A and B are shown apart, each in its own frame.
Chain A
Amino acid sequence: MSALAELSTLGRKKPPGPAKAKKRDNLAGYLFLTPWLLGLFVITIGPMLASLYLAFTDYNLIQAPQWIGLENFTRMLSDQRLHNSLRVTFTYVFVSVPLQLAVALLLAVVLDRGVRGMAFYRSIFYLPSLLGSSVAIAILWKQVFGTEGLLNQVLQPLGFDGKGWISDPSTALGTLVVLNVWTFGAPMVIFLAGLRQIPAMYYEAASVDGAGAFRRFRSITLPLLTPIIFFNLVLQIIHAFQSFTQAFVVSGGTGGPSDSTMFYTLYLYDRGFGNFDMGYASAMAWFLLVIIGVFTAINFIASKYWVFYDD
């Protein structure tokens, strides 16, 4: 916090006493922060506390909330659809995020080797990250993986039997995993920036010692990149837990077929805004917060064992 130290010495140099200057600094600081503080309390913390309260009530938006204690939570324990939505969400998160990061890392390493036209490829690979969350791409996915979709049109001449990838419960989730992997561009750009930070002399030294390309990747690139891998992992897991649009549009809002794409967030939407079961939806939302918090914490604790900081 050398920045802070610097500023306080500036304050001391001023003619009015330090206490007065400090007071004025406080005033200026909080003035600039006013919109953010308002937002924090009115739009974020207030509603969070309200939703914590609602989690213990029965509330349908019309009648006043009724305090029912832990009933929403005990209901969650026996709610089969909720358990299924957890299973679907976990499968999605823990299959699609590692796959997405692996592809991102692979391409970042290839592009970092001084490929000519690197900026061009980087842009092309990044584009799907911007398009991927749109309804338009979800519509496209619905077609591509449909019974008569683009994928089957390509596969049929090659002798494969086409099937409805989206209408089959065993593959529907897979199409969404593919969609998430397709948006590997954003983590790839972060990887690329990280690779730039690795001093070239490490590689030169290793080459002189006779290390091959694979060995250099394993012993230099990978360990020095672990902080970035960690950052991407935390970010993408949090992101994936909250996926909504694609499953919603592809399944027509149902989470089908047979609840195979019923993400936790979809079920939450269904309870809260489909059935106006706001108390239960609030309980679910807080449970989601706990899940994300736990996984982020696990990530941070585990990071001590595999993330390597150079300094």
Chain B
Amino acid sequence: MTTETLRTAAVRRRSATFGWARIRPVLTHLALAAAALVMLYPVIWMVVSSLRPGNEIFREPGLLIKDLEISNYRVGWNALTEPFTRYLLNSAAVVFGAVLGNLVSCSLAAYAFARLDFAGKKFWFSIMLVTIMLPIHVVIVPQYILFSQAGWINTFLPLIVPKFLATDAFFVFLMVQFIRGIPRELDEAARIDGCGKAGIFLRVILPLMVPALATTTIFTFIWTWNDFFSQLIYLTDPKMYTVPVALRSFVDATASTNWGSMFAMSVVSLVPVFLAFLLGQRFLIKGIATTGIK
């Protein structure tokens, strides 16, 4: 570093001394990197351990792989009554239905709340906000009764149909916030061109709210993929198990004897979440930031 750049740096940070100004960012980075490492270490270690002989899980806290062992995956894949492929497909079916349902139903409701003028709008809107905070336990018992009388136990319907009825109010709210940011002049222009309300929704609002739809897709994907409580309640037939329910029956079945393959299947179950995170982190972070702030 030349003396000249040092001088400009000094001018920029009047109050800081030379040494401190240079050391501080380094220290911050060190601290942040250490924190990140400590946080992710167990997860990385799980991935590594799943590739090692099973008994090393209890002896080897490091990350080095001496002999690569993929048998954990082979054993884990077929350890339960059905091959793991089955559970992955079941989860995929539930996730697909939930995503589609949320996209359709939440965008319809959000458009009504954000753009249409109708009697009782404020009332319904505040009800919608309250339902975001409602604990699922208050409705789960009667819902269970309702769905079991409909013969829906051990089908994916109890997990998908509610999504087509916009019960994930959080996403309605997220989309309302987004639509409010779209200039009304665009609606007006479309109206003059002869678009009705449905036309404005389909041709103006929907194409412009793709980022909000993407956020909804990714969140619904991850939350449904991870969801355990309702899947545990509605899916009791091993053929219908989704990944989380299968994993947990794995824990019970093997009673901590086969940690290697348990880790392997856990890693498999996290891969889709991790991919969704990689592809969609921009939308995820925007999504929580915009709904976090009114």
Contacts and interface: CB of A to CB of B under 8 A. Distances in A.
Contacts of B15: 207
Given A26-B118, A134-B270, A278-B141, A150 B42 contact: yes
A187 to B, nearest CB: 8
Contacts of B112: 28-30, 32-33, 36
A298 to B, nearest CB: 14
B70 interface: no
B229 interface: yes
A95 interface: no
A203 interface: no
B251 A252 contact: yes
A154 B61 contact: yes
Interface stretch (B4-12, B32-40, B209-217): B32-40
A26 B112 CA distance: 10
A133 B226 contact: yes
A198 interface: no
B109 interface: yes
A189 B288 contact: yes
Contact of B143 (A43, A121, A281, A288): A43
A42 to B, nearest CB: 7
A133 B230 CA distance: 13
Contact of A134 (B31, B32, B45, B269): B269
Interface string A181-201: 010001001101110010000
- Counting chain B CB atoms within 10 Å of each CB, the highest count among A32, A38, A51, A238 belongs to A32
B288 to A, nearest CB: 5
A43 B139 contact: yes
A6 interface: yes
B46 interface: yes
B118 A190 contact: no
A271 to B, nearest CB: 10
B247 A29 contact: no
A106 B223 CA distance: 27
Interface string A97-123: 000000000010011010111000111
Contacts of B92: none
Contact of A29 (B60, B118, B167, B290): B118
A188 to B, nearest CB: 10
A72 interface: no
Contacts of A123: 277, 281, 285
B184 to A, nearest CB: 7
B141 A241 contact: no
A58 B262 CA distance: 40
B25 interface: yes
B142 A47 contact: yes
Contact of B138 (A7, A10, A126, A285): A285
Contacts of A303: none
A25 B119 CA distance: 9
B116 A32 contact: yes
A135 B135 contact: no
A43 B162 contact: yes
Given A43-B143, A107-B35, A131-B43, A268 B137 contact: yes
A286 interface: yes
A126 B293 contact: no
B66 interface: no
Given A29-B121, A241-B135, A36 B288 contact: no
Nearest to A282: B141
Contact of A30 (B118, B146, B247, B276): B118
Contact of A288 (B113, B137, B269): B137
B178 to A, nearest CB: 14
Given A143-B57, A242-B136, A265-B137, 13 more contacts: A30-B112, A47-B141, A116-B25, A124-B39, A127-B274, A133-B223, A135-B248, A140-B42, A143-B259, A150-B45, A154-B61, A190-B293, A244-B228
22 contacts: A3-B184, A4-B121, A28-B116, A28-B197, A29-B117, A32-B112, A35-B104, A36-B128, A39-B162, A39-B167, A42-B165, A51-B138, A131-B270, A133-B223, A134-B225, A134-B226, A134-B273, A137-B266, A242-B135, A244-B229, A272-B141, A285-B137
